[in-house]
A and B are shown apart, each in its own frame.
Chain A
C-alpha cells in the first residue's frame, strides 16, 4: 500500500519562512505525481493552494510556493502570517494505478 508522508507538526514565527515536505513510499516524488497542496483551517472545508507541483490558483497568496526538493514535494511559506495557522495536506497522483493519495497532513502552528 502506497504511503504519503508529511511532517506531523511544525512551528514557525510570524514573518518567518517554513517548508513543508511530502514524500512517497514508492520513491522520489517527481512532477509526474502532480503534487497538490491543500490548506484546511479549523471548522472549514479544505482549500486548494497549489497544483501540479508549483501552479497557484487565483486565490493563492503570493507567499505560498510549491516545488520539488531532494525527491520530495515541498510547500514553502515565506513571510508567514498568523492566519496561515492550519492543517496542510499534500496529495499525489499515482498514474499507474490511476489513484490519488493524501498525506497525513502537517499541523502548522504560528507562534
Chain B
C-alpha cells in the first residue's frame, strides 16, 4: 500500500532564503507526482506535476525533482517571500485517478 510522508510538518524561515520541502513515498511504481499549495480556508492549487519519466519540473521560483528509485521528491523554493506562506502537499498517482496524499508541510516565511 502506497504511503506518502512529508517532513517536516512545519517550517519557518526568514524571507529571502532558499528552502527545500521533502516528500517520500513507499512504492516506486507511480505514474506521476504533484505538488499542491493550500492557503488557509481555501482549496488546493496545483503547482507542479512530474511524470514518472521526468526528473524535474520548474515554474518560476519553484523547482520540483523526482527520484523514483529512492522514493523521493523535493520542492525547491528560491528566494522565499512572505506570500509563499502556505501548506504544501505532495500527492502521487498510481494511474487510476486515485491520488495518495502526504499530510503537508506548513511553511511560514517571516518578513
A and B interact physically: no
